[in-house]
Amino acid sequence: MHMIKRKTFLPYGRQDIGEQEAVAVDAVLKSDWLTTGPKVVEFETAFAKFVGAKEAIAVNSGTAALQIACQAAGLKKGDMAVTTPFTFVATSNAVAYCGAKPVFADIEPDTYNLSADCARKKLNSHVKAILPVDYAGHPCDILDFMDMAEKKDITVIEDAAHAVGAQIDGKKVGSIAHMTTFSFHPVKQMTTGEGGMVTTNDEELANKLRTLRNHGINKDARSRHGKAGTYEYDMTELSFNYRLTDIQAALGLVQLDRLPEFLRKRASIAKLYESLADELPVKLPATRKNVRHAWHLYPVLIDKPGKRDEVFSSMRAANIGVNVHYIPVYHHTYHKKQNPKLRASDFPVTERVFSGELSLPMFPGMVREDVEYTVQALASSLKVRQ
């Protein structure tokens, strides 16, 4: 088939913002509260309800969510946390911010999520947390990790930056782990520009998280404001300013309302990819029967040594924003320096998946022609006739 080259660049992900969002943000700009105020509370309440968690704590990035979760879990120097190397660097960075050591375990060959069996082998008395990631939006085996932590002094922090709205065994991601973290970066399923959330069913953890997002101060500005307010507050531990603004929360509330629509569109794009790319010599992403996928990414696997980079270049040349998720974290200079004993050969599945992985464009604003063009470009890059 002859291909006509696109004139505009098709990114791998992008936000969908409409007039409704603009109206909501505008109203906050003209109100009394710009930063953490009534809209943040409203956003947290709506988000907790959506995922089925008791508490939700809004912060200004997914990275901040991970950091305060690790801090609330009590991670400190001398501790270890088991996590996946097949993720964005923010996951293991959160462990390192606390002075603790990330310990990587290999991933599953079908979902590319942290393997519970591999994680179990890394447990020892220093391990105080496990951080699985719901890669691409496919939920991890959270109950296996919860079992592993049971009766031990281990906190499970699920990095669900890819998985807002995903479900496992009929339960929403965000309602099961000790703490679950989300990101509202524009490439994710819903956005606040920058932003994040931690959900938990544990009130004590929720109180800690609220303190940690606000310098370690035990009262927020609103409770000290107005007639009945007091000047008193106490800083109980050292932390940073991770507050989300009311401007962002107003945007988030509209995006949360539209999330079901976004998720439906993503699922239909995945379905279209599946039907169009079915015959190509690539491995399409697997979805287990007991999950509802949230389709942050559409990762295909080109299982032929060296071929992925070739396909990547030729698809970029065709104006398609393919990407690679992820360079395994232990490949980064920082981690090599921190732990010279790390060997790529200890992570055979991660290495194999990394060498072949290619993320195709996936966002709700894609039209049928975008998907068709992407699959045609993939087919011709693979030098197969379609």
Ligand X SMILES: *Cc1c(COP(=O)(O)O)cnc(C)c1O
- Nearest partner of 36 among 180, 159, 195, 184, judged by Cα: 195
Binding segment (CB under 6 A) for ligand X, from list 56-64, 95-103, 304-312, 345-353: 56-64
What sign results for the dihedral spanned by CA atoms 123, 239, 51, 178?
positive
Instruction: Give ∠ CA 85-86-89 in degrees, rounded to 5.
Output: 70
**Least separation, in Å, of the C-beta of 364 and ligand X?**
17
Structure tokens of 246? 């009311």
Crossing angle of helices 38-51 and 246-276, rounded to 10°: 30
Q: Does 196 bind ligand X (CB under 6 A)?
A: yes
Binding segment (CB under 6 A) for ligand X, from list 19-27, 157-165, 278-286, 328-336: 157-165
Taking residues 74 to 113 in sequence order and writing x for each that binds ligand X by CB under 6 A, - otherwise, the string is: -------------xx-xx----------------------
Binding segment (CB under 6 A) for ligand X, from list 47-55, 57-65, 97-105, 333-341: 57-65
Residues 127 to 146 in contact with ligand X, rule: CB under 6 A: 133
Residue nearest to ligand X according to CB distances in the complex? 62
Judged by DSSP in three states, 64 sits in helix
Each as own residue / partner, the long-range contacts of residues 255-260 (CB below 8 Å, 24 or more positions apart, any chain) are: 255/21, 255/184, 255/190, 255/191, 255/192, 256/43, 256/46, 256/47, 256/50, 256/190, 258/16, 258/18, 258/20, 258/190, 259/50, 259/164, 259/165, 259/189, 259/190, 260/165
Q: Can 151 be counted among the known catalytic residues? A: no
Q: Of these, 61, 199, 248, 255, which contacts ligand X (CB under 6 A)?
A: 61
Nearer to ligand X, 69 or 366 (CB): 69
Contact 154, 148 (CB under 8 A): yes
**Radius of gyration over every alpha carbon of the chain, rounded to an integer in angstroms:** 21
Beta strands in 25-154 (DSSP E): 55-59, 80-83, 101-104, 127-131
**Least separation, in Å, of the C-beta of 159 and ligand X?**
5
Q: Which residues are registered as beta bridge partners of 358? A: 300
CA distances from residue 352 to 15, 188, 306 in whole angstroms, order as listed: 31, 26, 11
Nearer to ligand X, 243 or 307 (CB): 243
Binding segment (CB under 6 A) for ligand X, from list 58-66, 138-146, 206-214, 279-287: 58-66
**Least separation, in Å, of the C-beta of 282 and ligand X?**
22
d(CA 27, CA 288): 43
Annotated catalytic residue: which of 188, 208, 265, 307? 188
By CB neighbour count within 10 A (0-12 exposed, 13-18 middle, 19+ buried), where does 113 fall? Answer: buried
Nearer to ligand X, 132 or 364 (CB): 132
Cis bond upstream, residue 326 (ω within 30)? yes
**Least separation, in Å, of the C-beta of 190 and ligand X?**
12
Taking residues 166 to 195 in sequence order and writing x for each that binds ligand X by CB under 6 A, - otherwise, the string is: -----------------x-x----------
Q: Of these, 63, 211, 214, 359, which contacts ligand X (CB under 6 A)?
A: 63
**Least separation, in Å, of the C-beta of 21 and ligand X?**
18
Nearer to ligand X, 127 or 133 (CB): 133
Structure tokens of 17? 């913002």
Nearer to ligand X, 87 or 211 (CB): 87
Q: Of these, 28, 53, 161, 206, which contacts ligand X (CB under 6 A)?
A: 161
Please tell me the count of residues contacting ligand X according to CB under 6 A.
14
> Which residues are the active-site residues?
188
Binding site for ligand X (CB under 6 A): 61-63, 87-88, 90-91, 133, 159, 161-162, 183, 185, 196
